[in-house]
């Protein structure tokens, strides 16, 4: 296999499948799935501790698994809150990387582009490595790149929907224009969709719900790893041109003539029988 590392900011990754840690039935299943996925970058969220129940320590097992942590700002409703959450995450997880996500609408969880751009600018100025989760908006992705984001994370579909890639035309524009890695996030529900995203030229995909909500998450994680790698290899190999007309792959003229066909009528003579043709 050819050398094919993904570089974001100062970090290089062998795997182009990033994974989330949410929605798993248990911490063990989550850890086993992440290991099976081969993922080297995993997302985490931040939450106020319940002093009565304490907090699950899922950080240390992930650190022990040698994966890089990508804290998100989920729950932030505007730029100010997002910057605050990023600062909390930096203290907590000892990383200046942040998945910037601001989605105040609880129904569709659509990211707020205005607040996201504002927060991205502030966070980049504060030295964060910012990976913003955004709608598949080529203009916004370019603006985010201009303010210093290390990558962009346009959505394929609504978060957690497993609905597949619904933003194809716009993702293609983003991929074509981007000078930073493009990580397709949210909505990818099947391994074939991860492969498709990679075939389109995405630099990576982020998958959570599709793995966590599978009946067999560890096996599904492995499937996504294979599909992501397969899609990437196909992209590198170069996909064939798409045409509307058929383009024959076998010769259309193989030199048949009536004299050749009629040589042995015992084999094909029945085709000339009107009874056989229903006439």
Partner 1 sequence: MSVSNESALIALHVNDSRHQVPQGTTLSELLAILAIDSDSVALVSNGQVIPKSQWQNIACEPNAHIELFGAVAGG
Under the binding rule (CB under 8 A), the answer on residue 159 touching partner 1 is yes
Under the binding rule (CB under 8 A), the answer on residue 21 touching partner 1 is yes
Under the binding rule (CB under 8 A), the answer on residue 20 touching partner 1 is yes
User: Which of 15, 116, 208, 228 forms a contact with partner 1 (CB under 8 A)?
Assistant: 208
User: Which of 29, 87, 163, 214 forms a contact with partner 1 (CB under 8 A)?
Assistant: 87
Under the binding rule (CB under 8 A), the answer on residue 31 touching partner 1 is no
Helix 79-93 to helix 113-125 angle (10° resolution) is: 40
Under the binding rule (CB under 8 A), the answer on residue 253 touching partner 1 is no
Give the tokens for residue 192. Answer: 């074939």
Measured CA to CA, the distance from residue 117 to residue 140 in angstroms comes to 8
Under the binding rule (CB under 8 A), the answer on residue 206 touching partner 1 is yes
Measured CA to CA, the distance from residue 126 to residue 234 in angstroms comes to 38
> Which residues from 105-144 bind partner 1, rule CB under 8 A?
none
Cβ within 8 Å of residue 216, ≥6 positions away: none
* Residue 59 CB coordination number (10 Å): 14
Do 15 and 40 touch, CB atoms closer than 8 A?
Answer: yes
Q: Is 267 left (phi over 0), alpha (psi -120 to 50) or beta?
A: alpha
Under the binding rule (CB under 8 A), the answer on residue 72 touching partner 1 is yes
CB of 209 to partner 1, least distance (A): 7
Query: How big is the site for partner 1, counted in residues (CB under 8 A)?
Result: 39
Do 17 and 39 touch, CB atoms closer than 8 A?
Answer: yes
- Give catalytic residue positions: 99
CB of 54 to partner 1, least distance (A): 7
Residue 101's closest CA among 47, 182, 159? 159
Query: Among residues 104 and 234, whose Cβ is nearest to partner 1?
Result: 104
Under the binding rule (CB under 8 A), the answer on residue 278 touching partner 1 is no
Q: Is the dihedral of CA 201, 133, 94, 54 positive or negative?
A: negative
> Which residues from 160-199 bind partner 1, rule CB under 8 A?
160
Binding mask 217-246 for partner 1 (x = CB under 8 A): ------------------------------
- Collapsing DSSP to helix, strand or coil, 54 comes out as strand
> Which residues from 37-66 bind partner 1, rule CB under 8 A?
43-51, 54-60
* Residue 211 CB coordination number (10 Å): 31
Residues of the shown chain interacting with partner 1 in the complex, contacts defined by CB under 8 A: 20-24, 27, 30, 43-51, 54-60, 69, 71-72, 74, 84, 87-89, 91-93, 159-160, 206, 208-209
């Amino acid at each position: 296999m050819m050398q094919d590392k993904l570089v974001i900011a100062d970090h290089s990754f062998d795997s182009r499948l990033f994974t989330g840690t949410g929605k798993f039935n248990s911490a063990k299943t989550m850890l086993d799935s992440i290991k099976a996925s081969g993922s080297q970058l995993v997302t985490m969220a931040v939450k106020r501790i319940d002093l009565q129940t304490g907090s699950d320590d899922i950080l240390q097992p992930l650190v022990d698994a040698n994966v890089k942590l990508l804290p998100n700002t989920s729950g932030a409703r505007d730029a100010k809150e997002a910057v605050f959450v990023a600062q909390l995450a930096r203290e907590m997880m000892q990383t200046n990387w942040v998945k910037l996500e601001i989605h105040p609408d609880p129904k569709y969880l659509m990211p707020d582009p205005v607040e996201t751009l504002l927060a991205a600018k502030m966070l980049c100025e504060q030295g964060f490595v910012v990976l913003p989760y955004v709608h598949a908006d080529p203009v916004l992705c370019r603006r985010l790149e201009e303010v210093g984001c290390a990558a962009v994370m346009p959505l394929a579909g609504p978060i957690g929907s497993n609905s597949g890639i619904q933003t194809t035309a716009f993702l293609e524009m983003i991929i074509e224009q981007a000078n930073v890695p493009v990580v397709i996030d949210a909505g990818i529900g099947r391994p074939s969709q991860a492969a498709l995203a990679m075939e389109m030229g995405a630099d990576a995909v982020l998958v959570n719900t599709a793995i966590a909500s599978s009946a067999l998450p560890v096996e599904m994680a492995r499937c996504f790893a294979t599909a992501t790698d397969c899609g990437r290899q196909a992209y590198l190999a170069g996909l064939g041109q798409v045409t509307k007309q058929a383009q024959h792959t076998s010769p259309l003229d193989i030199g048949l003539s009536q004299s050749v066909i009629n040589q042995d009528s015992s084999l094909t003579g029945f085709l000339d029988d009107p009874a056989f043709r229903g006439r």
